[in-house]
Amino acid sequence: MIVVHHLENSRSQRILWLLEELELPYTVKRYQRDPRTMLAPPELRRVHPLGKSPVIQDDKWVIAESGAVVEYLVDKAGGRLGAPTDPCGKLRYRQFLHYAEGSLMPPLLALLVIGRLGLLGRPARKPMLKMIDRHLEYIDQELSGRPFFAGDELTGADIMMSFPLEAARKRAGLDARRRHIWAWLERIHERPAYQRALKNGGPYLYA
């Protein structure tokens, strides 16, 4: 049985969604953030030395990092929600699987830190929002010609892109003016597997 070590309001929510889409059996062990620092509790370090989430346990394996977890679970499910068979779809799948954490999340995390700096962070807020908006423009254009990131069907690339775009909606000005991203968000949030994952994961600020 797969165990998901799930931190509230974190990237691990998308792993619950993936497991529901793949119909793989799993259990959830929930962790609460420190109310003062908003960091993960020290208990997570007993699971993995970095003390971060998502982390899954499957038999003897302990797997961290969202992208690695997505790839592991897709393989475990026999390739379901993996890369499309056409060359363009394969390339888009690989690109967005890594783009989510490699390019899109860093400025979103920087914006979060800037916000916590108060007046000291104010000069950096405008240029950071401009950088994020450039990403949103690119993503909106990418989704203008297809319903999902890799093609016509949901894949692990969509799972990976869900958290940064939900975070952008929450704190970086993403709204319905980016109509293709907005439609994509509505599309994934309506999926029964997504709704089941919300119930299993508990309160989630970004849905």
Kind and range of the H or E element at 110? helix 105-116
Residue with tokens 């929930």: 30
30 beta partners:
6
Q: Tell me the C-alpha to C-alpha distance, in Å, between residue 18 and each of 26, 39, 58.
A: 11, 24, 15
Reported as a pLDDT band with limits 50, 70 and 90, residue 167 is: very high
- SS3 label, residue 149: coil
Contact between residue 14 and residue 64 where contact means Cβ atoms under 8 Å apart: no
- Tens of pLDDT, residue by residue over 186-195, are 999 999 999 9
Predicted TM-score (pTM) above 0.85: yes
Mean pLDDT over residues 160-173, rounded? 97
Q: Which helix (DSSP H) or strand (DSSP E) does residue 7 occupy?
A: strand 2-7
Counting Cβ atoms within 10 Å, is residue 3 exposed (0-12), middle (13-18) or buried (19+)? middle
Which domains does the chain carry?
2-81+193-201 (3.40.30.10), 87-191 (1.20.1050.10)
Average pLDDT over every residue of 101-111 = 97
Check if the beta carbon of residue 57 is closer than 8 Å to that of residue 2: yes
Query: What average pLDDT does range 101-117 have in this prediction?
Result: 95
pLDDT in tens, 6-32: 999 999 999 999 999 999 999 999 999
Terminal CA-to-CA distance of the chain, rounded, Å? 27
What CA–CA distance (Å, rounded) separates 169 from 44?
28
- Under the phi-then-psi rule, with left for phi > 0, alpha for psi from -120 to 50, and beta for the rest, what region is 151? left
**Nearest in space to 104 (alpha carbons), one of 6, 7, 181, 195:** 181
Please state the φ and ψ torsions of residue 60, each to the nearest 5 degrees. Answer: -90, -5
How far is the CA of 96 from the CAs of 87, 89, 149, in angstroms? 14, 11, 7
What are the distances in angstroms from CA 14 to CA 20, 90, 116, 121, 200? Answer: 10, 21, 25, 30, 12
